[in-house]
Every structure is written in structure tokens, then in C-alpha cells.
Amino acid sequence: MTSGQQGAESVPRRFSSAEIKSAFGHFSTGVTIITGQSDGMPQGFTCQSFVALSMDPTYIGFCPGRSSTSWPRIRPSGAVCINILASDQEPLCRTFADRRQDRFAHVLWRPGRNGAPAFDGVLARIEANVVNEIEAGDHTIVVAEPTEFWVSPARSPLLYYRGAFGCPHDATGVGA
């Protein structure tokens, strides 16, 4: 805050969805599929809002939309697997983003140690137990404590940038 603004009351500006998406789209994110179980059935959804929250204690976070139909089914189990997608897994990402199809119909998976579906071929997997949830606007911030890690050192990440998948290569767009 500059000295000329001290004491001035700030009125939050309302932004259009297009303005928000344009500004936030300049932050490149990795892409995950959050999985869990509900009554013995696998559940999952694509999520690009994932973050390492704390090293000690170790916490991670992800943010499902409040309109999610998958998160309310996973929540009661308290156990999740964060499958961090590799660069060649855009089709898998799209499958788990589409509510109209059986997401697990053509996907190979196995139960992780905590029972949540774990995918092979991903960049990394983090199994975790949910420890807290915080309502935040149209999303929920889920805080979880990792119980298992698995990493593939020879893979590249699937990135989402400016509304497209790929890697940012310069100021003009997205490169593959």
C-alpha cells in the first residue's frame, strides 16, 4: 500500500468470468485426477487446483468445485489418491472432466494402500488422508496429509496454460 492509499477504504471490483479466466490462465498448472472410493465403487475427477501446503507437518491441498458430483461421494471415505498426469495423458484428463461418461470404464487402475484408485503411467501419485475442508466461494479447499508417494522420474508433466494443454514456450502461445 502506498502512503497516499493509507486509510482509504477499498471497494472490491467485480470481474467478469472472461477477465478472471484470462488473468488466472497465465498461471501454468499441472493436472491431477483425484480418486477415492464410495461404497466399493471407484470415483474420480480432474483437478488442476492442487498445491503443496506444508512441509512440517506435510500437507497438500486441492480444490474441488462445489458443483462436483464426485467429491461428495469420495469425502466420506477420507482417503484419496492424487494422480499427477504425465504429458501424454490429456485423453485421461478429458475423460475424468466429463460427467456424462463412466470415467473408469476403460481405465486401468488398482487400489492404492488406502483403497483409492491409483493409475499406472502417471507422473506421480500421492495417497493421502483428508484432515480438513474449508468452504471458499464456489470451491472447497481440501487439506490432506500424505501417507504414500510414488514418482516416475522419467516423465514430463501435463500442463494447462491459457485454456489449453501443453507447455508455455513464449509470450505468444502454447507449445507442445
Q: Is residue 164 part of a domain?
A: no
* Residue 82 pLDDT: 98
pLDDT class of 75 with cuts at 50, 70, 90: very high
CATH value at residue 128: 2.30.110.10
Q: Is residue 86 part of a domain?
A: yes
Contacts of 46 by beta carbon, 8 Å cutoff, 6+ apart: 31, 32, 33, 93, 94, 96, 97
Average pLDDT over residues 138-150: 96
Q: Is residue 96 part of a domain?
A: yes
| 50 closest CA partner among 91, 85, 15 | 85
For residue 160, is pLDDT > 90? no
* Residue 171 pLDDT: 46
For residue 174, is pLDDT > 50? no
Q: Is residue 168 part of a domain?
A: no
Host domain of residue 148: 28-157
At 170, the amino acid letter reads D
- The count of structural domains within the chain is 1
Q: Is 130 within 8 Å of 144 (Cβ atoms)?
A: yes
Q: What is the pLDDT of residues 11-25, one digit of tens each?
A: 888 888 888 877 877
Per-residue cell: 4: 497516499
Q: Is residue 163 part of a domain?
A: no
| 52 closest CA partner among 44, 40, 63, 60 | 60
> What separation in angstroms does the CA of 107 have from each of 4, 50, 97, 116, 127?
58, 22, 14, 14, 19
* Residue 7 pLDDT: 52
For residue 4, is pLDDT > 70? no
Q: Is residue 125 part of a domain?
A: yes
Q: Which of 34-38, 40-44, 116-120, 164-168 has the lowest mean pLDDT?
A: 164-168
Average pLDDT over residues 90-105: 90
The H or E element that residue 93 is part of is helix 90-97
Q: Is residue 49 part of a domain?
A: yes
Q: What is the chain's percent helix, strand, coil content, to nearest 5?
A: 15, 45, 40
Q: Is residue 77 part of a domain?
A: yes
Alpha carbons 32 and 49: distance in angstroms, whole number:
8
At 33, the amino acid letter reads I
